């Protein structure tokens, strides 16, 4: 997942949702949160650049499914015996 804060110009979500690397785009206040796989960050930055939009503040989060489980449940799969 990556997030872009304060893009230099407005843009339609379909600019990013049309990319094969992108699975989801949502807006949270000043942020555009993009979820996907592969070379996601480069694909997003290139698409924005091509449209004349600068990604001013890019933040990366490479959480995996286990990270999400811990965040939701507060339990670690390995240390609490959920997975051996």
- pLDDT tens digits, one per residue of 16-26: 999 999 999 99
Q: CB burial class (10 A; 0-12, 13-18, 19+) of residue 16?
A: buried
Please write the tens of the pLDDT for every residue from 24-80.
999 888 788 898 888 988 999 999 999 999 988 888 777 666 666 776 777 776 665
Domains along the sequence of the chain with CATH: 2-73 (3.30.70)
SS (H, E, C) the chain: CEEEECCCCCCCCHHHHCCCCEEEEEEECCEEEEEECCCHHHHHHHHHHHCCCCCCEEEECCCCHHHHHHHHHCCCCCCCCCCC
């Amino acid at each position: 997942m990556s997030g872009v804060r304060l893009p230099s110009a407005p843009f339609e979500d379909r600019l990013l949702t049309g990319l094969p690397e992108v699975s989801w785009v949502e807006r949270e206040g000043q942020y555009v949160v993009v979820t996907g796989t592969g070379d996601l960050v480069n694909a997003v930055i290139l698409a924005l650049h091509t449209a004349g939009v600068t990604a001013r503040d890019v933040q990366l989060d490479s959480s995996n499914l286990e990270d999400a489980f811990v965040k939701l449940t507060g339990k670690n799969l390995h240390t609490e015996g959920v997975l051996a």
